[in-house]
Structure 1
Amino acid sequence: MKLANNFPSLIQDTVHTVAGVVIAGFALKSFLVPNQFLDGGVTGVSLLLHEMFHWNLAMLIILVNLPFIIIGSFLVNRKFALKTLACVVLLSLCLEFLPYPVVTSEKILVSMFGGLFLGIGIGLAMRGGCAIDGLEILALYTMRRSSFTISEIILGLNVIIFLLAAMHFGLERALFAMLTYFVASRTIHYVIEGLEEYTGVTIISGRSQEIKEALVLQTGRGITVYKGERGFLKDSFEISTDCDIVFTVVTRLEVRRLKNLVHSIDPNSFIFTHRIKEAAGGVLKRRASH
């Protein structure tokens, strides 16, 4: 029964992974490799070694990722490591045997669209529960032994890759590699999070009762109310009043509409937003589960 319940998710993960691998292979063989372009991360290391020593790229993809997959089996779990290994091997087979066409040799198009398709491929593979690029695993391993965040570690490692590229191939190639990596990383973010990424909105207003009613009755939002005080200005620090601090979660596409609604009630209301990495339960707008 449990296998039957998990079967749709298994099919979905498999489709995401296979599609991601094929698209990542397309980015490499149709854009980056024929034009001697580089990227960041473990993929960038593989491309760098391929360009410097002319070693087989398919084998490099496996060999360079293998240490990170082993680390991932300890940091995450063995299932994740095996899925990632299968994903990397499949990518290598695609690079070796699929007849990808060379699309363009225009540098800016290679950098932009190579990064775009590579980001789509890596993002889809991550939605399928595995990783094409093992740099994130290394960053997680390093983070547990230092005070740096994952983003800072990944940035630092990529700076080393780009410096090596600049020293060996020249500054222009390194700059294009940075552009490719930036496009790929932003695309990965959108593929994983979607355009409807959740955003937390906090509202402080003297007309909080009207705002609460509008959010719940007009937009159908779920809200949480904190009890607070407002005032404490420089010229009247001793003066404050009790207030309700309203918190709600909306999608990124709904933030502007919510702000307009709140400001129509109280133009002087204080609103601030922050990105939410993950949200579940409560009264949330439904979106596809990944």
Structure 2
Amino acid sequence: MDLEKLSRRYRTLTRISAALLYAIAVSMALNFFWEPGGIYASGVTGAAQLMNTIVTRLGVGFLGTPFWLVALNLPLFVLAWRKIGHRFTLFTILAVVLSSLLLHFSPMRKLTVDPILCAIFGALFNGAGTGFALRSGISTGGLDILGIVLRKKTGKSVGSINIAFNALIILLSGFIYSWPHALYSALGIFINGRIIDMIYTQDQRLQVIIVTNHPRTVIAGIQEEMRRGITIMHDAEGAYRHEEKTVLLTVISQYELHDLTQVMHESDPHAFVSVTPTVRILGHYYEPKRE
């Protein structure tokens, strides 16, 4: 019981740290690069920037991007509470509130006037913060929540869903600001999505084919360490030595690839293992429940 409490406290501290790290990253991305360079961010953050631009031109600019960031996330908090998990939602609210506060109170600095550099480095900071937050079991709000919900139905990665939703942001930024800056924003959004996918690998599926002489040991290791279902194909034969083999088929996440490597090293280091990306999975696939 004590170990369980310690583990829970460790996860809580990790999520709080991830929320703070994300808040620092997004405030740097916006205040140092995107806002000074006229670059719009992805998702709800970009929508908050657009809303701030519109109301500023209408003479109501005192609200600011931080206000709209919280306001636009409110209905998504309700969606996360119902569809994902309560603790997950609470940490998401923490991440959004912290980022809004840091955006409001941290000074805006123009490190460069080059919009391309602003788009790239803003995306690097924001993508890294978002990816680390997702990997730590929390969301940064906005399209992250929609991405997680829709991923369960479509099988698409969070970064890809993020990019798909941002076509509207790019079009609106072109009409409201300028078309060159819309293209720079598109560059930043693309890089942001790729950085997220590089760091948050839990939703990237891999098909694993294992040819082994010790199927029982391998199966026990995978099911004990990774909790994955395995299909067993008996009576396979190696073409070189004509030895009887067993072929095992399973699907894991990119995040679990290191665990699979360790299991194979301990259970059958001489087994042949083929790992390939898989686009979509139909049927039951176990995913740990978010809390």
TM-score, normalised to structure 1, is: 0.67
**Which amino acid in the other structure matches residue 136 of structure 1?**
D
Q: Does 1:175 align with 2:183?
A: yes
Secondary structure at the counterpart of residue 111 of structure 2: coil
**Which amino acid in the other structure matches residue 158 of structure 1?**
N
Q: Deviations over 1:202-243 (max 9, x none)?
A: 367xxx76xx89xx9xxxx9797623679xxxxxxxxxxx97
Which residue is equivalent to 1:47? 49
Relative to structure 1, the CA distance from residue 228 to residue 168 in structure 2 (aligned partners, 3 Å threshold; closer, same or farther) is farther
Preserved CA contact (<8 Å) 1:21 1:125? no
CA distance in 2 between counterparts of 1:7 and 1:271 reads 38
**Mapping 1:75-154, distance limit 5 Å:** 75-99=83-107, 101-139=109-147, 154=162
Which residue is equivalent to 2:209? 202
- What is the root-mean-square deviation of aligned Cα atoms in Å? 4.2
Q: Does 1:274 align with 2:282?
A: no
Secondary structure at the counterpart of residue 193 of structure 1: coil
Cα shift at 1:192: 2.2
Preserved CA contact (<8 Å) 1:29 1:95? yes
CA distance in 2 between counterparts of 1:79 and 1:271 reads 37
**Paired residues, what number?**
247
Preserved CA contact (<8 Å) 1:228 1:243? yes
Q: Deviations over 1:61-99 (max 9, x none)?
A: 111111111211111223222221121111111011123
Relative to structure 1, the CA distance from residue 245 to residue 28 in structure 2 (aligned partners, 3 Å threshold; closer, same or farther) is same
Preserved CA contact (<8 Å) 1:31 1:103? yes
Relative to structure 1, the CA distance from residue 91 to residue 166 in structure 2 (aligned partners, 3 Å threshold; closer, same or farther) is same
CA distance in 2 between counterparts of 1:91 and 1:272 reads 38
Relative to structure 1, the CA distance from residue 200 to residue 156 in structure 2 (aligned partners, 3 Å threshold; closer, same or farther) is closer
Preserved CA contact (<8 Å) 1:201 1:250? no
Preserved CA contact (<8 Å) 1:21 1:122? no
Q: Does 1:227 align with 2:220?
A: no
Relative to structure 1, the CA distance from residue 126 to residue 156 in structure 2 (aligned partners, 3 Å threshold; closer, same or farther) is closer
Q: Deviations over 1:105-127 (max 9, x none)?
A: 21221111110100111122223
CA distance in 1 between counterparts of 2:205 and 2:194 reads 17
Preserved CA contact (<8 Å) 1:12 1:128? yes
Cα shift at 1:246: 5.3
**Which amino acid in the other structure matches residue 174 of structure 2?**
A
Which residue is equivalent to 1:64? 72
CA distance in 2 between counterparts of 1:82 and 1:250 reads 30
CA distance in 2 between counterparts of 1:82 and 1:270 reads 41
Which residue is equivalent to 1:28? 30
Give 5+ residue unaligned stretches, structure 1. 231-241, 255-264, 281-290
Preserved CA contact (<8 Å) 1:123 1:192? yes
CA distance in 2 between counterparts of 1:128 and 1:163 reads 32
CA distance in 2 between counterparts of 1:74 and 1:11 reads 24
**Which amino acid in the other structure matches residue 166 of structure 1?**
G
Of structures 1 and 2, the larger Rg is shown by 1
Relative to structure 1, the CA distance from residue 103 to residue 80 in structure 2 (aligned partners, 3 Å threshold; closer, same or farther) is same
CA distance in 2 between counterparts of 1:111 and 1:15 reads 26
Cα shift at 1:153: 5.8
**Which amino acid in the other structure matches residue 132 of structure 2?**
L
Q: Does 1:13 align with 2:22?
A: no
Cα shift at 1:154: 4.4
Preserved CA contact (<8 Å) 1:13 1:127? no
Preserved CA contact (<8 Å) 1:13 1:129? yes
